[in-house]
Amino acid sequence: MSERTINFVNYIIQRVQTHKGDAAVLRRADNPNTEYQAWEILAGFSVKLDSENERLPFAAIAAGIARAKPEFNGKTQIGQAIAKCYDDGNQSDQAKAKLRRLLACDNTAEACRILRPLLKLIESKTNLTLDYSRLLNDLLWFSHDESRQIIKSRWAQNFYGKQGEEGADE
């Protein structure tokens, strides 16, 4: 995991807790129609605004944090969190469908678009705190063909309760 993703997540968590105006802007950062409002905050963290593969992951994670308002970065992985949204856990057909849809993503923009409602679902159905740094790191590497399969495999392993290789931390 990169120091940049850890620092960004910690910064956004702190910013959301201390600046209500920024929190409101960041909650809309993953909406294509309003994401530009968060560009000042993202650019302040040297996010390349002209790169979709960089801007969209940072915006998606910032929006997720702004909505969930965690006090710290958690340890729950995205696969685990999807399963925990349903009473049947990883045996739930709905949970499996949500995971399959995420695993079917072929590019970063699609993964960020699919994550938007998933993050809202996790926030509304559980009291888990996601590992936003890991998820941001995954999304930043998702555009690399050689990393995408490793990331998807880890998400699936987390969903089904099996611990896999850490991987994709280049």
Measured CA distances, 70 to 74, 81, 85, 139 (Å): 8, 15, 17, 20
Q: Per residue of the chain (170 residues), what is the pLDDT tens digit?
A: 789 999 999 999 999 999 999 999 999 999 999 999 999 999 999 999 999 999 999 999 999 999 999 999 999 999 999 999 999 999 999 999 999 999 999 999 999 999 999 999 999 999 999 999 999 999 999 999 999 999 999 999 999 985 444 433 33
Segment (H or E) for 18: helix 3-18
Count other C-beta atoms under 10 Å from residue 91's C-beta.
11
Q: Give 31's DSSP letter.
A: S
Determine the CATH number of domain 3-157: 1.10.520.40
Residue 18's Cβ-count burial label (10 Å; 0-12, 13-18, 19+) is: exposed
